[in-house]
Chain A
Amino acid sequence: MNKPLRRIAIFCGLLVLALLIRDNWLQYVKADSLRTDPKNRRVTIARYSSPRGDIIVDGNPITGSTKTSKSGLNDLEYKRTYKDGAMWAPVTGYASQAFGASQLESIDDGILTGTDDRLFFRNTLDMFTGKQKQGGNVVTTLNAAAQKAAYDGLQKQGGKGAVAAIDPSTGKILALASYPSYDPSTFAGNSTGTDTTAWQKLQKKVNPNDPMLNRALRETYPPGSTFKVVTAAAALENGLYTSADQATNSPLPYIMKGTTTELKNEGNIPCKNATMRVALRVSCNTVFGKMGSDLGSDKMLAEAKKFGFDAEQFTPVRSSASVFSQDMNPSQTALSSIGQYNTAATPLQMAMVAAAVANNGKLMKPYMVDKLQSSGVDTIAQTEPQELSQPLSAKNAQILQSMMETVVKEGTGTKAQIGGGITVGGKTGTAQHGVENSANPYAWFISYAKLPDGSSPVAVATVIEDDNANRDDISGGGLAAPIAKSVMEAVINSKK
């Protein structure tokens, strides 16, 4: 009976071989996808197994890690901490043991946790030198003073709002504030008592103020009159007008083409046949509405797209796409051209508009991560400034700059004046919304500051949505401009 015995020996060998093949499939072929599966709790454990790398602003970490009491069943050794968490939340996002991670904490998790492949060499070195594994750092482009000015300004205002500030020449994001905000350290742990309660209190269905909404990037508001800057750029670029001081041949009252509806101005302002400079200074709806209507839907859309409308931006944190509709009839185009109808923009988008004008027509891609570092502060990756588009020529940009500077010098934006040789250009906006425009309008202000040498270090967009304020008080110039001013001053002072 030895022949069957040999066959049984082969059969048993095949059984073991099947196990070996399956093992190779699991532990070699499928290993990476199993290891990095977000549902695999080891991912969370690894994230908190060593001090997490920091998010850095101006050389100082705005995050930290603290050892948790690894008692009982808690298998997570470290917990994320935040300095001025509420102020920085629109930048950092959160990293919570119980609720996952978002924004920079999630996008650069590999670097912060120390598992990114780019850290392989450093980690291997650490293994041999016996150093504990440590996450790398994310160095941001933000400016702490500007961020503080923005957040404090919003907080003092008390209503909901957001500020986005960028460096026009590079696209570096300098401030990104949203109010009301949340402190991510309140739910960074995994205690069912404190952390879960704090998390639940922040959810939109419990808290109508929706503090976890990043208004600077993820909320789109009708931009109102601030959009007139885009319309003016389109008019200049398409040769509709060639100078700021050329009469625009605009009627008053203005009946929108194809309708019997009159497009009205706010108050009794000198808009009849006004020049673009005057029309921007006093914010004529009639002049810019007609301008957009004359240019037509397609040309307006093309220009808006060059400024970044209708596209998401990855900073690398995603911002929502701002909206400028396509295929509109003349009256819809007229309304859209003064920032009404379907037009909606994120604060970041409007900051990009101001920045492109300030940077002589070149729009730089906005970004907030300057570089990624290993724990030994070697640079692993550096973001290089990148041109996104050229919405207008340098010559036209300068014409638009002089118009926007007139707005601040003697128009609706005088509250943003800085003085001391600093030129400020800006545009106010008061966007109406709600049924029959019954809700309180949004107060907008977009601006840039120019140093005596002609360079522009900062462009900023501010929006305030105030449900409680007196309707008459809301105007971009009154509510939003002072915040923009303090942000611009903070940037300029920090450069000195």
Chain B
Amino acid sequence: MSSTTNTPTHHTSTIGAIGAPSRRNTELALLLFAVVIPVFAYANVGLAIDDKVPAGLLGYGLGLGLLAGVGHLAVRKFAPYADPLLLPLATLLNGLGLVAIWRLDQSKLLQSIGVAGGKATNQLIYTALGIALFVIALIFLKDHRVLQRYTYISMAGALVLLLLPLVPGLGADLTYGAKIWIKVGSFTIQPGEFAKIVLAIFFAGYLMVKRDALALASRRFMGLYLPRGRDLGPIIVVWMISILILVFETDLGTSLLFFGMFVIMLYVATERTSWIVFGLLMSAAGAVGVASFEPHVQTRVQAWLNPMHEYVLSRTPGVTGVHSDQLQQALWAFGSGGTLGTGWGQGHSELIRFAANSDFILATFGEELGLAGLMAILLIYGLIVERGVRTALAARDPFGKLLAVGLSGAFALQVFVVAGGVMGLIPLTGMTMPFLAYGGSSVIANWALIGILIRISDTARRPAPAPAGNPDAEMTQVVRPS
């Protein structure tokens, strides 16, 4: 692995990037688009629903612009060599999410069931908190390697966060079945969103230390490197925790997300394909095993296989049990949007009712922006993930590589699990689309995630310390067993 860093011609090596442009002005220009596009979308919603430019347009535009500006200035000051795409892409998604939430706020149907009304304002506040956390991360986290020190504290923290929803009196059952929320006063928090980051820190720190043992001490069997029994320990522990999440929090998405993130990081750390095979086998066994006795999971799978049946049951008087028409309503929303969509504010995604602006917000984008718009959104997510993996490639230290790929991989899995669930590709889970969906935990945690990625990318792209006169010295200084 160190071979790549030794090859000056290789483009992933940033050693030669002395004097490379910082791309801060590119970021600023992109940010301008990321603010202007949602502002136009906002005006569009108002014009479509009330035939007039919404009164809150100026406030919204200034608010989003200000937040983006603060984010940009923080990056310019504290992470000048950071990846120029991450901040604009996240801002664009966040801005469009705000527009969609505001658009659903206008729905009387959603207002009547308490799902909408003033939620966009709340979300703007959450966004501000998110940007604040982003800025704090940049200011105080001068070097991401500091996080390495907190490996085992992170593990404890992540376990606590994951178990919180199961504490009696604290857990809140908000979505059908999934217990991934806690209630503090009038706030509901999804600790899983934060656990995602903390767990990535733990995995990165742990694997960096153990990866040689895991990678080298193995026997070759049928072309696969089989790990020693005692090295299997960590993956089995994480697998057990995932299964426990699945059983007690009944959330396939969270379970899949954590286990998937661990397998990705394990694979990157050890370069052993066998871990992927093990991971896939274990998750398949776990999912099938749990599904065979856990009714919640079975219900989810049934609803996924036959959403129309669920729709009919949900409208049949006298049918007991939880039957939700949401998935069928979401499918109708996507289909009704067609290729080009109905246009902002002209769809009827409010028919999804509960969670229309959170778990199912993608249906609003699908219906109102159509196939074209939704593909653009999905590609923006893809770009964020790939910029994250690119950051991992560019990072010079193994901890940074592992952390960056862990966070990006978790982000990718989350997007896949949520979008796939809402579009009926896989069974529904209780998670939300990062940045688009309504919910403070999600927005704040994901801004922190972007902050850490930006910090790693800044370190990665930062010109190496000035050479001490001798170019050879530079090379020896930088090459690490990364």
Measuring CB to CB, which residues of chain A are less than 8 angstroms from any residue of chain B? 1-9, 11-13, 15-16, 18-20, 22-24, 26-28, 30-35, 37, 39-42, 45, 72-73, 75
Which of B269, B311, B348 has the most chain A CB atoms closer than 10 A to its own CB?
Answer: B348
**The residue from B108, B336, B386, B420 contacting A22, defined by CB atoms under 8 A apart:** B420
* Cβ-neighbour of B386 out of A9, A23, A33, A73 (below 8 A): A9
Q: Is there contact, CB below 8 Å, between A28 and B371? A: yes
Tell me which of B332, B386, B405 contacts A37 (CB under 8 A).
Answer: B332
Residue from A3, A5, A11, A23 with most neighbouring chain B CB atoms (10 Å):
A5
Enumerate the 8 nearest inter-chain pairs by beta-carbon distance, A residue then B residue, closest first: A34-B335, A27-B371, A16-B382, A12-B412, A15-B416, A9-B389, A40-B332, A26-B334
Q: Is B409 an interface residue (CB 8 A)?
A: yes
Asked if B338 and A16 make an inter-chain contact with CB atoms under 8 angstroms apart, the answer reads no
Contacts of A26 in B (CB 8 A): 331, 334-335, 366, 423-424
Residue B12, interface by CB 8 Å: yes
Residues of B within 8 A of A30 (CB): 335
Known contacts A19-B378, A27-B370, A34-B334; A6/B393 CB under 8 A:
yes
Question: B368-406: contact bitstring with A at CB < 8 Å (1 yes, 0 no)?
Answer: 001100110011011001100110110000100110010
In the complex, are the beta carbons of A34 and B393 less than 8 A apart?
no
Instruction: Judge whether A39 and B311 touch: CB under 8 Å.
Output: yes
* Closest chain A residue, CB of each to CB of B13: A2
Are B416 and A18 touching (Cβ within 8 A)? Answer: yes
Interface size on B, residues (CB 8 A): 54
Complex Cα gap A27–B347 (Å): 14
Least Cβ distance of A288 to chain B in Å? Answer: 54
Question: Is B425 in the interface zone, CB < 8 Å from A?
Answer: yes
Point out the residues of chain B lying under 8 angstroms from A1, CB to CB: 1, 268-269, 271, 398, 401-402, 482
Q: Separation in Å of the B324 CB from the closest CB of chain A?
A: 15
Give CA–CA (A30, B335) in the complex, Å.
7
Chain B: minimal CB distance from A252 (Å): 64
Give the residues in chain A near B409, CB-CB below 8 Å.
Answer: 8, 12
Smallest CB separation, A348 vs chain B (Å): 37
Quick check: is B112 within 8 A (CB to CB) of the other chain? yes
Residues of A within 8 A of B166 (CB): none
Residue B264 at the A interface, CB < 8 A? Answer: yes
Number of A-B contacts (CB under 8 A): 143
Q: Which residue of B lies closest to A10 (CB)?
A: B389
Query: Would you give the shortest CB distance from B235 to chain A, in whole angstroms?
Result: 16
Within the assembled complex, what's the spacing in Å between the Cα atoms of A30 and B338?
9
B336 touching A23, Cβ below 8 Å: no
Q: A30-B335, A31-B338 are in contact. Are A12 and B385 (CB under 8 A)?
A: yes
Are B339 and A2 neighbours in the complex by a CB distance under 8 Å? no
Count chain A CB atoms within 10 A of each CB in B1, B308, B334 and give the residue with the most.
Answer: B334
Residue contacts A-B, CB under 8 angstroms, 9 given: A3-B1, A3-B271, A9-B389, A15-B413, A20-B375, A27-B370, A35-B335, A40-B336, A73-B109
B117 at the interface (CB under 8 A from A): no
Q: Which residues of B have CB within 8 Å of A20?
A: 375, 378-379
Q: Assuming the A-B contacts A1-B398, A4-B268, A18-B425, are A27 and B389 also in contact, with contact meaning beta carbons closer than 8 angstroms in the complex?
A: no
Cross-chain contact A5 with B401 (CB below 8 angstroms): yes
Q: Is the CB of B335 within 8 A of A31?
A: yes
Q: Render B296-338 as a binary contact track against A, CB cut-off 8 A, 1 for contact.
A: 0000000000001001000000000000000000011011111
Residues B385 and A16 in contact, CB atoms below 8 Å apart: yes
Distance, CA A27 to CA B112, complexed state (A): 29
Minimum CB–CB distance from A100 to chain B (whole Å) comes to: 15
Q: Name the one of A5, A6, A27 contacting B335, with C-beta atoms under 8 angstroms.
A: A27
Q: Is the CB–CB distance between B366 and A23 below 8 Å?
A: yes
Per the bound structure, the CA–CA distance linking A37 and B329 in Å amounts to 11
- Tell me if B189 is interfacial: C-beta within 8 Å of chain A: no
Task: Give the distance to chain A from B423, nearest Cβ to Cβ, in Å.
Answer: 5
**B379, chain A: closest CB distance, angstroms:** 7
Cross-chain contact B332 with A15 (CB below 8 angstroms): no
Q: Given the known A-B contacts A2-B393, A34-B335, are A42 and B348 also in contact in the complex, defined by CB atoms under 8 Å?
A: yes
Residues of chain A contacted by B379 (CB below 8 angstroms): 16, 20
Cβ contact within 8 Å between B405 and A5: yes
User: Looking across the interface, which residue of chain B has its beta carbon closest to that of A7?
Assistant: B267
Shortest CB-to-CB span from A28 to chain B, Å, is 6
Is B4 part of the binding interface, using a Cβ–Cβ cutoff of 8 Å? yes
CB-CB nearest in chain A for B392: A5
Expressed in whole angstroms, the Cα–Cα distance for A20 and B375 within the complex equals 6
Query: What residues of chain A lie closer than 8 Å to B479, measured between beta carbons?
Result: none
Shortest CB–CB separation between residue A30 and chain B, in angstroms? 6
| Chain B residues whose C-beta falls within 8 Å of the C-beta of A32 in the assembled complex | 335
Given contacts A27-B335, A42-B336, is CB(A16)–CB(B12) below 8 Å? no
Contacts A1-B402, A5-B392, A18-B420 given; 7 further ones with Cβ under 8 A? A5-B401, A15-B413, A20-B375, A22-B423, A22-B425, A31-B338, A40-B332
Residue among A3, A6, A15, A27 with max Cβ neighbours from chain B (10 Å): A27
CB distance from B41 to the nearest CB of A (A): 19
Q: Are A31 and B375 in contact (CB under 8 A)?
A: no
In the complex, chain A residues whose CB is within 8 Å of the CB of B268:
1, 4-5, 8
Contacts of B264 in A (CB 8 A): 8, 11
Please, which residues of chain B bring their CB within 8 A of the CB of A31?
334-339, 371
Contact of A15 among B337, B375, B415 (CB under 8 A): B415
A8 to B410, CA, bound (A): 11
Interface string of B259-270 (1 = CB under 8 A from A): 000001001110
Answer yes or no: B351 CB below 8 A from chain A CBs.
yes
Within 8 A of A (CB), among B438-476: none
CA distance A5 to B385 in the complex (A): 12
Q: Would you call A23 and B348 a contact (CB within 8 A)? A: no
Which residues of chain A have C-beta atoms less than 8 A from B162's C-beta? Answer: none
Cα-based distance from A12 to B413 in the complex (angstroms): 8
Q: Contacting B375 at CB < 8 Å: which of A11, A18, A23, A37?
A: A23
On whether the beta carbons of A28 and B393 are closer than 8 Å, the reply is: no
Q: Do the beta carbons of A45 and B339 come within 8 Å of each other? A: no
Q: In whole angstroms, how far apart are the Cα atoms of A321 and B401 in the complex?
A: 77
Which residues on B sit within 8 Å (CB–CB) of A22?
420, 423-425
B14 at the interface (CB under 8 A from A): no
Question: Which residues of A sit under 8 angstroms from B1, Cβ to Cβ?
Answer: 1-3
Chain B residue with the shortest CB-CB distance to A15:
B416
Residues on A with C-beta less than 8 A from B398 are 1
Pair A73/B338 contact, Cβ less than 8 Å: no
Cα separation A39 to B312 with both chains bound (whole Å):
10
Complex Cα distance A45/B349, Å?
12
Determine if B389 and A24 form an interchain contact, defined as CB atoms under 8 angstroms apart. no
Q: A8-B264, A75-B109 are in contact. Are A19 and B420 (CB under 8 A)?
A: yes
Q: Does B44 contact A (CB under 8 A)?
A: no
Q: How far is the CA of A74 from the CA of B257 in the complex (A)?
A: 41
Complex contact A27–B374 (CB within 8 A): yes
User: How far, in Å, is A7 (CB) from chain B's closest CB?
Assistant: 8
CA distance A18 to B426 in the complex (A): 11
Interface residue? B94 (CB, 8 A): no
What 1/0 mask marks residues of chain B from 328 to 372 whose CB sits below 8 Å from any chain A CB? 000110111111000000001001000000000000001000110
Residues on the B chain within 8 Å of A34, using CB: 331-332, 334-336
Task: Write the nearest CB–CB distance from B320 to chain A, whole angstroms.
Answer: 22
Contact status B412-A16, CB under 8 Å: yes
Please judge, given known A-B contacts A9-B389, A15-B413, whether A23 and B371 are in contact too, CB under 8 Å: yes
Is B419 on the interface with A (CB-CB < 8 A)?
Answer: yes
Contacts of A18 in B (CB 8 A): 416, 420, 425
Chain A residues with CB below 8 A from B337, complex form: 27, 31
Assess whether B250 is interfacial by the CB under 8 Å rule.
no
Q: How many Å lie between the Cα of A6 and that of B269 in the bound state?
A: 13
Q: How far, in whole Å, are A73 and B109 apart by their CA atoms in the complex?
A: 6
Assess A8 versus B332: contact at CB under 8 Å? Given A1-B401, A23-B366. no
Chain A min CB distance to B166 (Å): 29
Name B349's closest neighbour in chain A (CB-CB): A42
Give Cα A30 to B425, complex, Å.
14
Q: Which residues of B contact A39 (CB under 8 A)?
A: 308, 311
B393:A72 contact, CB within 8 angstroms: no
Residues of B within 8 A of A6 (CB): 393
Contact between chains at B331 and A15 (CB < 8 Å): no
